[in-house]
Structure 1
Amino acid sequence: MTKIAQTAIEADPKLPIIRLTRDFAATPAQLFRAHTDPELFVLWNGPDSLTNKIDYWDARTGGSWRYVSSRAGEHGDEEYAFHGSFHEVGPDRIVQTFTFEGEPSGVALETLWFEDLGDGRTRLHAQSLVDSFEGRDAWLRSGMEVGVNEGYARLEKLAAEGRL
């Protein structure tokens, strides 16, 4: 298992799965809201260099979502779009698909769950199942840990500021 900043990122040796674990000074309800409220989601998701804009967001079982991350670059604006479907949305677990539109055949099935540690602390568990080891390893080589760690640091800050 590789520990990067405060987020543990693990590639399962037997399945094409990436697992993330991180503790937050926030309640399960606060983390659930941060993952399901589009106004909060855009504030913390992804690397610091990108801004997010929601195209549509229906955070309920059977709903769907799409957002676009962008940044201004010296050679023009860059945009990265993502979409998926919410398969299960409950207070302690979210199951959804995740597709980067730049690689539309690479659909992941993501499961997030919130473990109450007591005293206002929660352990976030996330698991992404992809269709191949090659796809999983490409995700790991993509620099995803930067977006994960920078995004989760902003989420932690939102919690500390009482904004969740």
Structure 2
Amino acid sequence: MTSTSTHQTRIASDPDVPLVRITREFDAPPEKVFRAHVDPELVARWLGPRGLEMTIDTWDCRTGGSYRYLHRQGDEEYGFHGCFHEVRPNELIVQTFTFEGMPDGVALEKLVLEDLGDGRTRLTSTSLVDSFADRDAFVASGMEVGVREGYERLDQVLAAG
């Protein structure tokens, strides 16, 4: 399915620290965008690229909680897990993120929701990793496609209510 969103997903690698910054606007208030990030049934509908099936093993989205999910495509399976360090409704999620195929590479992620008024939200996500090499591998892994397609799918989830 093709997206009808006019919002651009901006992905930038910081030249000074091993960090990736993603910025995206949504035509929904912060409460809805936040809920789509914390409700496991909604997360499973949009997170990741098209063509992958998502199964959530654990999803305890609260300060001190944790998560684990799998993406599957045919016979291939990709596991991810992490911990929620800080969850503030409608404004902030701080979590770790580990791709189980590279278990030593842990990213610290911060998602900030900004109310733009008129039922719109700006999401700014930063992912900090251990090294520039790890950051560049993270970006080269196809992360960009998954992020863009996932946010297009999130637009559809938000529009459906």
TM-score range, shorter chain: over 0.9
Whole-angstrom CA distance in 1 between matches of 2:23 and 2:43: 18
The superposition leaves residues 104-136 of structure 1 with CA deviations (integer Å, 9 ceiling, x where unpaired) of 000000000101000000000000000000000
The answer on 1:37 being equivalent to 2:39 is: yes
Equivalent residue in structure 1 for 2:82, among 81, 84, 99: 84
Farther-moved stretch of structure 1 (135-144 vs 108-117): 135-144
**In the alignment, residue 29 of structure 1 is paired with which amino acid?**
E
Segments ≥4 residues shifted beyond 4 Å:
none
2:4 maps to none
1:69 aligned residue: 71
Q: How far is the alpha carbon of 1:140 from its aligned partner?
A: 1.2
Query: What is the percentage of aligned positions where both structures have the same residue?
Result: 62
Query: 2: CA distance between counterparts of 1:151 and 1:64?
Result: 21
Query: What is the one-letter code of the residue matched to 1:65?
Result: Y
Query: TM-score, normalized by length of structure 2?
Result: 0.94
Distance (Å, rounded) in 1 between the aligned partners of 2:14 and 2:30: 25
List per-residue Cα deviations over 1:15-63 (Å, max 9, x = no partner).
Answer: 0000000000011111111111100000000000111100011111000
Q: C-alpha distance in 2, partners of 1:146/1:51? A: 16
TM-score by length of structure 1 reads 0.92
Q: Secondary structure at the residue paired with 2:103?
A: coil
Letter in 2 for 1:58: D
Q: In structure 2, how many angstroms separate the alpha carbons of the residues matched to 1:51 and 1:89? A: 26
1:11-160 correspondence to structure 2 within 5 Å: 11-72=13-74, 77-91=75-89, 92-160=91-159
Count of residues in correspondence between the two structures:
154
CA distance in 1, matches of 2:110, 2:86: 9
DSSP 3-state at the match of 1:99: strand
